[in-house]
Structure 1
Amino acid sequence: MRMKIVVVAGLLILLSGCADKEPVAAPSADERESQAMKYSQCMRDNGVPSFPDPVDGRLQIQIRKGSDLDPDSEAFQKAQETCKPYAPAGLGEQQANGAQQAQMLKFVACMRENGVPNMPDPQPDGRMLIGGPDGGGVDPESPAFQDAQAKCRDQMPAGMR
């Protein structure tokens, strides 16, 4: 069974406010971590018991068909709907803004130039699908990926560093 690893870059996407509103400060790293922790706990409390805690401010989820970490399962979808108020920015139907998408594309280009030629483009909502059929077969645990990631660290969007 092929595993698809989804790096939920929801914590890297900081959505802009509307032009007619006062600017709002981006949440601090502690606030983003707290929000992601609330979301993780809510998902566990609502039918997805193996939903992971955030690591270094990011939600990294190994999707396994037939497990409780299957986003196509009814239980996962119900929990996701229930936990929507706690979802970190970038999860769901929001779109990455132009600057965020451009930064993510720079990171992807760097990864490709440094030994990960199949690094997939980011999704419109800011997620990066890595591994499995939708993720170019990229193995984030491989030495090539790890080396490229170290070389491209300065190209990573802020929430991924």
Structure 2
Amino acid sequence: MSARRWFGGRLVVVGMASAVALTLTGCGDGDGKDSEKDEVASVQGDKAGAQNDKGATSELATYVEGQRKWVQCLRDKGLDAPDPDAKGSVKLGDASKLKKDPKFLAAMEKCSDLSLAVPAGVEKAQQGKLSKKEIETRKKYSKCMQDKGAPDFPDTNDDGHTEEVTWDQSSAGAKRAARECGSIIGVPADGTYTPQG
């Protein structure tokens, strides 16, 4: 869910809570106790929401800082690595070329202890919204993979993202399925595809 949609939804909830509190104050017995209770409940709800925001922000900040340390290590090993973006993503270049570059591979190995997995909350926030056609294509690909030899291939959910499961990409069935189903997503017969959340 985007921050804008979440924040907009939060304003609606806070606005509704305020309207209810005003109505109860107008209809109360005059001692103000009902409105005080509503205000306390509203403040407690606001605090819980703020704590969730801080947790997500803290997780992202920690991840970005870790990515900066990893990039600095890569630079110390002679790579021209760019700074991570605001979401911690680092674009190193063409993966097919980098896999053949001994300098790159050596730097990656030496800095591997600083390389962080993307936290689940950050990964979820980075996922973009897919069109109906993209969702349909991903679902079709998941079903094809499962039917053609990779039964443990992750399902695609209603928003077009795959479930977080581990599947055996190296099995003969998975390789056969990838060859037979690749054309659905535009992957050549000799290529492979890793589900992207």
TM-score (norm 1): 0.41
Larger proportion of helix: 2
Q: Which has the higher contact order (CA 8 A, sep 6+)?
A: 1
Larger-gyration structure (1/2):
2
TM-score (norm 2): 0.34
